[in-house]
Amino acid sequence: MTIQDKLAELRHSTLEKLKQANLEKSKEIQDLRVEVLGKKGSLTEILKGLKDLSAEERPVIGKYVNEVRDVLTEAFDNANALIEEEKIAMQLASETIDVTLPGKPVAVGNRHVLTQTAEELEDIFLGMGFQVVDGFEVEKDYYNFERMNLPKDHPARDMQDTFYITEEILLRTHTSPVQARTMDQHDFSNGPLKMVSPGRVFRRDTDDATHSHQFHQIEGLVVGENISMGDLKGTLQLISQKMFGEDRKIRLRPSYFPFTEPSVEVDVSCFKCGGEGCNVCKKTGWIEILGAGMVHPSVLEMSGIDSEKYSGFAFGLGQERIAMLRYGINDIRGFYQGDARFSEQFKG
Ligand code: FA5
């Protein structure tokens, strides 16, 4: 038998076997493929005889070998495709999909409780005619300290050490630098300046249940003619009532900030015991919520504002502090850990 005959015979017999193969048994076809086209298969075996051919015969037979290989490869591929199709057809015939089954519920997130607190405060202030202003988290030493009446050697800087980018650029320690930036821009012919500015601040503080090295404040500032301590008290009274309930009272205690004179700490009467004394207010009946005061004349003058004609009040409150008191959160670190179980409690 010549090589050509052997090839013709292999082609014929393989195609016949493929025709008869049980299509449901794809293994049968895979085995046949290895048997015929595999490395040690029948085709390879026949090709061993190529070496005995003459130089003239070799290209002719070579061409024929390729033709047989192509025909058989295609035949196996077709058989496999047919098997795949049959499989899918069988699956479709046996499977039904119940389109009326309820779907999987999509988990809906919610705004972070600090964002909610800030937005609620912003809404109250917007209602009182304040504008909401953005500040810079990376701030100049000049605005964070010097314009707040804290020159380079001022001892009160020690209370607000921070992360320095360069000697002159730092992560702001409070939202107060926004005061100077907005006062610089304000045109009093358009009326008094009334703004709030929420944002993140940074300090070299040791983290514990009530302190974090980064937290959030809301700055408030009003500058105009005849602005008095009474306006400050009235504004803060309203905020406390809106945030903690109508019955809340506030009290001002003398304090010190270099950028306000006089300066006060502001306490709100305890929302839990109503002033009787309990574990929330540490038996005092009062809870401290913010620092405030009348804007220091030097701070006004540094913005080119005539302190004889204009006066103002400012305050800075801790957003975490407000949220912790409102919702009875006892550890500030919960705000930053990204635990969904914490956030889900404040869906609103
Ligand atoms: C200030 O930062 C002043 N700039 C506030 C101010 C503004 C006074 C305008 C006068 C006029 P103080 O350092 O007290 O003040 O911070 C204000 C509030 O931020 C505090 O009442 C507290 O609620 C919050 N706070 C301060 N340090 C931390 C901290 N490490 N972690 C969380 N909250 C803090």
Structure confidence by residue, pLDDT tens digits, 111-158: 999 999 999 999 999 999 999 999 999 999 999 999 999 999 999 998
Compute the distance between CA of residue 89 and CA of residue 291 in angstroms, rounded to an integer.
75
Q: Are the C-beta atoms of residues 197 and 123 closer than 8 Å to each other?
A: no
The distance in angstroms from the start CA to the end CA of the chain is 88
Amino acid 81: pLDDT: 87
- The DSSP call for residue 126 is H
- Residue closest by Cα to atom 14 of ligand 1: 291
Amino acid 277: pLDDT: 87
- Residue closest by Cα to atom 28 of ligand 1: 211
Half-sphere CA count of 74, side-chain side, radius 13 A: 7
Amino acid 265: pLDDT: 95
Amino acid 98: pLDDT: 86
pTM: predicted TM-score of the whole model, two decimal places: 0.72
State the architecture of 113-346 in CATH terms: 2-Layer Sandwich (3.30)
Best residue for ligand 1 mutational test, from 176, 298, 329 (most atoms within 8 Å of Cβ): 176
To the question of whether residue 225 is assigned a binding role by annotation, the answer is no
Compute the distance between CA of residue 341 and CA of residue 345 in angstroms, rounded to an integer.
7
Amino acid 288: pLDDT: 86
Per-residue pLDDT tens digits for 285-324: 888 889 999 999 999 999 999 999 999 999 999 999 899 8
158 CA to middle of ligand 1, Å? 14
Amino acid 227: pLDDT: 98
198 CA to middle of ligand 1, Å? 12
Closest alpha carbon to 146 in 185, 189, 181, 106:
181
Question: Which ligand 1 atom is at minimum distance from the Cα of 213?
Answer: 30
Q: Where in the chain is the domain with CATH 3.30.930.10?
A: 113-346
213 CA to middle of ligand 1, Å? 12
Pocket of ligand 1 (CB under 6 A): 174, 176, 203, 205, 211-212, 215, 217, 257, 260, 290-293, 314-318, 320-321, 332
Amino acid 347: pLDDT: 85
The CA-based angle 168-316-217, given to 5 degrees, is 75
- Residue closest by Cα to atom 23 of ligand 1: 318
Amino acid 290: pLDDT: 94
Compute the distance between CA of residue 49 and CA of residue 111 in angstroms, rounded to an integer.
78
Amino acid 23: pLDDT: 65
The residues of the chain scoring below 50 in pLDDT are none
288 CA to middle of ligand 1, Å? 11
